[in-house]
Amino acid sequence: MVIHPDGPPWDIFGLPRIITGEKSYARMREISASPANGIALCLGSLGTDPENDIAKIAKTYGAQIHYDAGFDGYIRPDHGRMIWGETGRPGYGLYDRALGAAYIAGLWEAIEKQ
């Protein structure tokens, strides 16, 4: 099981946020330290708070990031902008997510060639 951080990390419509960064990840681990409980290292959600040191979070919780640190399986772009006249749910633009997949493929290829 993996918990995704709240995005954005501030209250919306009076609804509080629970998982917003390193402190809330630590609290989650205090409540239940089961190795089955993992975290999602969502750069989009975590990166909106300048207090989040994402590199530090990745190092601290690497073993709990079930599909990132040392993971050799499937990865994908998450959120995208609405571009080229597209309409739909904010954050889920099809074209921009396709571009994200192309960027990931290029980065992956560059890493493999190093």
Mean pLDDT of 93-104: 86
Q: Could you report the per-residue pLDDT of 51-77, keeping only the tens digit for each?
A: 999 999 989 988 888 877 666 767 777
Rounded Cα distance between 32 and 16, Å, is 21
Q: Could you give the CA distance from residue 110 to residue 81 in angstroms, rounded to a whole number? A: 25
Q: Could you tell me the two tokens for 17?
A: 């946020």
Residue 24, burial from CB neighbour count under 10 angstroms (0-12, 13-18, 19+): middle
Q: How many CB atoms lie within 10 A of CB 61?
A: 19
pLDDT at 69: 62
In the chain the beta strands, taken as DSSP E runs, fall at 2-3, 38-39
- Going from N- to C-terminal start, the domains of the chain cover 1-72, 76-114
Q: Is the pLDDT of residue 79 over 80?
A: no
Q: End-to-end distance of the chain based on CA atoms, in angstroms?
A: 33
